[in-house]
Amino acid sequence: MTHHETDPEEELRVLIQKVARRIRAERAGEGISDTQLGVLWQLASEGRSTPGGLAASEKVSAPSMNRTLNALEASGLVRRAPSDDDARSVWVTITPAGEQVIAETRRLRQQWFHAQLEALTAAERSALEEVRPILRRLAEA
């Protein structure tokens, strides 16, 4: 018997992680890493960023982010351009192809989640709906 089977708090944490991992598994773009996808999500929502800003938000080193951006740029998913104000700094933007990866990933995740909810009973859906404010509070903590 594993530890989380006897510890309800641990089991809850593990189950939430597993659901999140299962949702993240639904993605577009062949061979795109979690960090690459994270960069695309951020650029899709913010419009543009610097390599340093992306490294900080993804919690990776600057050289690691540079490799990530090289791969994304080679795949045509992001574009790097020198800043108009400061030739030493660079802006990274998402390309239309990158936006397609995000849109398709979002569609796949919604489709998967919708299918899971559809398979629940009305009582199960209702119970899950009641947990929404609690999950929101945990997500924003």
Q: What is the mean pLDDT of residues 19-40?
A: 92
The answer on pLDDT for 89 being more than 90 is no
pLDDT of residue 35: 93
Which sequence spans correspond to the domains of the chain?
3-140
CATH of 3-140, one of 2.30.60.10, 1.10.10.10, 1.20.1250.20, 3.20.20.70: 1.10.10.10
User: Which residues, in sequence order, are CB contacts of 88 under 8 Å at separation 6+?
Assistant: none
**Could you count the other beta carbons within 10 Å of the beta carbon of residue 89?**
12
Percentage of the residues of the chain whose pLDDT score is greater than 90? 86
Rounded to whole angstroms, how far apart are CA atoms 103 and 29?
Answer: 11
Rounded to whole angstroms, how far apart are CA atoms 32 and 75?
Answer: 10
- Average the pLDDT over each of 15-29, 83-97, 109-123 and give the range with the smallest value: 83-97
The answer on pLDDT for 6 being more than 80 is no
Q: pLDDT tens digits for 46-73?
A: 999 999 999 999 999 999 999 999 999 9
Output Rg (C-alpha) for the chain, integer angstroms: 19
Give the residue from 84, 23, 76, 1 showing the smallest Cα distance to 15: 23
Name the 3-class secondary structure at 81: strand
